[in-house]
Amino acid sequence: MNVLGINAYHGNSSAAILCDGQLITAVEEERFNRVKYAAGFPQNAVRYCLEEAGLTIRDVEHVAIPRNPWARMGTKLFYALRMPRFALDRSKVLTRFSGIHQDLAQACHVDPESVQAEQHRVEHHVAHLASAFFVSPFDQAAVLSTDGLGDFASTMWASGRGNRLEVHGAVSFPHSLGLYYTALSQYLGFWKFGDEYKVMGLAAYGEPAYQDEFRQIVKPNNGHGFRLGLNYFCHHQTGPQMSWPESDKTPVLGQLFSPYLEQRLGKRRPPAELIAKKHKDIAASLQSVLEEAYFRLLNSLYQQTHHKAVCLAGGVAFNCVANGQVFDRTPFSEVYVQPAAGDAGLAVGAAYYVYHQILRHPRGFAMDHAYWGPQFTPEAIRQALNDSATNGSSGFSRQELPNEELVRLTAQHIVAGKIVGWFQGRAEWGPRALGNRSILVDPRRAEMKEVLNRRIKHREAFRPFAPSILEEATAEYFELSHPSPFMNLAYSVKLEKRAKIPAPTHVDGTGRLQTVSRSTNPLYWALIKEFQKLTGVPVLLNTSFNDNEPIVLQPQEAIDCFLRTKMDVLVIGNHLIEKRNQT
């Protein structure tokens, strides 16, 4: 039984394939077409999924699409009548989805008649819920999906038992915690798609001085989720102006906040303006009131389900600061957030929803690692190196080493303060580099944050970098030790350890940690272990292998990034390449 999941014509387009209930591969289109958050039809991702599974499109029995144009039709019609432009946008979306069969055939280079798979439409948030629960290790769990907007809902909650999901409630347009966060991020001068996580990082520098005002922006709704103070917004009057241009460039979002917000908080911050204390306090207030609403939802969900575990999905589930507080602010004792908690994960969620909920197959898979993307053979890596400017150049030293020696020398370079690009095995699923497409440095050196930004990453100085820690050492360094394998929970670093790992410890004393298990990534685990042998510290600073682009996927992209930035060392497969005379 082969099920292909496709998130298409939407940000973070992606594909995933299941064979007899086992996930074979899952990958975002952006990794192939090199357009961050790419929308459009994920033709490269679909082709890769089929190739990796050893299938053709003729072998696929079911195609799962996380979009149901008929969901919430009453609300859609109500707003369509009030907003003609919005109605037009809706009709364009419907037209695109009706052509998905042709796009699939075109991507697979076959006639549309050859695509015999049954198509299933799964509502956006139902697919999010499925993406969180059906791949979790839990037989029973509460499940919450929270994002900007999808199929006209922004939030949905459910109870998961075995191969069933039972939806208990939802919050519909125009009320949305995701749009709230995006609107205030825009007000603070962060307009790009996906910028909300920057504002989350900024929040740690401020005090929630505007909390009372923000409690008018997001309000409780008599035990049924939350409501937005709509006078602060304009999306309910103009329509949610999210566009995915025909050229499939990065998604674009129109202004969401109203003039009333500026009357209350003052003029918006232009993107080039210096970030003042006021902006930091607004970010802190934004985060604080998001957390209040999030924990009201979660506590209410606990009261409804009494499950001890909770699974989280949707863009808001990337709020690692909130996720890390679940243990303190709710009765839940276990949390699972799959690595692609945002819209890319819909491809996996829709596929599993079809497999379990519709076709009623039993559970038999848990996603305990994130390495579901493409990998490259030693020959392909050697060929890419031979074709590169590093080959035969006196500016580089190149060695091919067995694993043990590779790990030993790499750890020595990190201890010596070098910036190391680390490219191994299958690419990560989701937006975080988790030790297969990573840039690694010494976490003990406080200056590495500035050095990384100056030489490679060019990120805003206020944004934190993340620590990877040996799973078994988590309790030694952090106040909590619940596993965080996908870097989507932030915990407080123990007071006495903050000076030991200053580079990935944020200004508020937290770290968005990745707990690294020997069983799921033995080579990365061995590298951190070797670093611990040399320094006593079982932690590396881990940031994604890229420079203002999607994370590198192919060997050639890693080599190009190494060559055009001031990275010192590239470890790719079993090759270690060092730049000579790097300044």
Q: Give the Cα separation of 524 and 528 in Å (integer).
A: 6
Residue 248 makes contact with Fe ion by CB under 5 A: no
CA 519 – CA 525 distance, rounded (Å): 9
Q: Which is nearer to Fe ion, 147 or 281 (CB)?
A: 147
40 binds Fe ion (CB under 5 A): no
Encoded one letter per residue, x for contact with Fe ion by CB under 5 A and - for no contact, window 157-196 reads ----------------------------------------
Shortest spacing between CB 413 and Fe ion, in angstroms: 40
CB of 546 to Fe ion, least distance (A): 23
240 binds Fe ion (CB under 5 A): no
- Residues in Cβ contact with 498 at an 8 Å cutoff, skipping those fewer than 6 apart: 505, 509
Stretch near Fe ion under the rule CB under 5 A, chosen from 148-156, 332-340, 386-394, 501-509? 148-156
CA angle, 484 then 486 then 491, to 5°: 40
Least separation in angstroms between CB 223 and Fe ion:
24
Nearer to Fe ion, 131 or 542 (CB): 131
Whose Cβ is closer to Fe ion: residue 14's or residue 543's? 14
Which is nearer to Fe ion, 68 or 492 (by Cβ)? 68
State in angstroms the smallest separation of the CB of 124 from Fe ion.
Answer: 6
Decide whether 150 or 160 has the Cβ nearer to Fe ion.
150
Label residue 560 exposed, middle or buried (CB < 10 Å: 0-12, 13-18, 19+): middle
d(CA 38, CA 78): 30
Binding piece for Fe ion, criterion CB under 5 A, among 143-151, 179-187, 236-244, 295-303: 143-151
Establish if 123 lies at the interface with Fe ion (CB under 5 A).
no
- Is residue 529 a contact partner of residue 405, using CB atoms and an 8 Å limit? no
What string of DSSP letters covers 290-323? HHHHHHHHHHHHHHHH--SEEEEESGGGG-HHHH
Angle at which helix 196-203 crosses helix 277-305, to 10 degrees, equals: 100
Residues 6 or more apart in contact with residue 261 via CB below 8 angstroms: 183, 187, 217, 232, 233
According to CB under 5 A, which one of 21, 42, 150, 174 is a site residue for Fe ion?
150
At its nearest, how many Å lie between Fe ion and the CB of residue 346? 7
Stretch that binds Fe ion, among 71-79, 141-149, 254-262, 446-454 (CB under 5 A): 141-149
Using CB under 5 A, which of 147, 442, 471, 557 touches Fe ion?
147
Residue indicated by tokens 């001068």: 189
**Which CB, 151 or 568, lies closer to Fe ion?**
151
Tokens 């298990």 map to which residue? 517
Residues 302-341: x/- map of binding to Fe ion (CB under 5 A)?
----------------------------------------
How many angstroms separate the most distant Cα atoms in the chain? 70
Q: Which amino acid is at 397?
A: S
Task: Please say whether the beta carbons of 29 and 13 come within 8 A.
Answer: yes
Smallest distance from the beta carbon of 206 to Fe ion, in angstroms?
28
Q: Between 150 and 550, whose beta carbon lies closer to Fe ion?
A: 150
> Nearer Cβ to Fe ion, position 343 or 471?
343
How many of the chain's residues bind Fe ion (CB under 5 A)? Answer: 3
SS (HEC) of 245-296? CCCCCCCEECCCECHHHHHHHCCCCCCCCCCCHHHHHHHHHHHHHHHHHHHH
Contact 156, 124 (CB under 8 A): no
421 binds Fe ion (CB under 5 A): no
Least separation in angstroms between CB 572 and Fe ion: 34
Cβ-based nearer residue to Fe ion, 28 or 471: 28
Of all residues in this chain, which one has the CB nearest to Fe ion in the complex?
147
CB-wise, 150 or 201, nearer to Fe ion?
150
Structural element, H or E, at residue 352: helix 346-352
Toward Fe ion, which CB reaches closer, 150 or 339?
150
**Residue 457 DSSP class:** I
Which two three-digit tokens encode residue 291? 């957390």
In degrees rounded to 5, what are phi and psi of residue 204?
-65, -15
Give Cα 356 distance to the centre of its chain.
Answer: 24
Is the Cβ of residue 147 or residue 196 nearer to Fe ion in the bound state? 147
**Is residue 151 close enough to count as binding Fe ion by CB under 5 A?**
no
Per DSSP (E only), the strands in 418-549 are 420-423, 437-441, 466-470, 489-492, 510-516, 539-544
CB of 331 to Fe ion, least distance (A): 26
Identity (one letter) of the amino acid at 102?
Answer: Q
Residue from 103, 248, 343, 471 touching Fe ion (CB under 5 A): that is: 343
Give the range of 130-138, 263-271, 342-350, 506-514 binding Fe ion by CB under 5 A.
342-350
| Closer residue to Fe ion in complex, CB, 147/248 | 147
Strands (E), 407-563: 420-423, 437-441, 466-470, 489-492, 510-516, 539-544
Tokens of 418: 């070098």
Shortest distance, position 514 Cβ to Fe ion, whole Å = 23
Closest approach of Fe ion to the CB of residue 315, in Å? 6
Measured from the CB atom, the residue of 145 and 515 that comes closer to Fe ion is 145
Under the binding rule (CB under 5 A), the answer on residue 471 touching Fe ion is: no
Selected range binding Fe ion among 147-155, 164-172, 225-233, 538-546, rule: CB under 5 A = 147-155
Rounded least distance, CB 287 to Fe ion, Å: 20
CB of 150 to Fe ion, least distance (A): 4
Which residues are at the interface with Fe ion (CB under 5 A)? 147, 150, 343
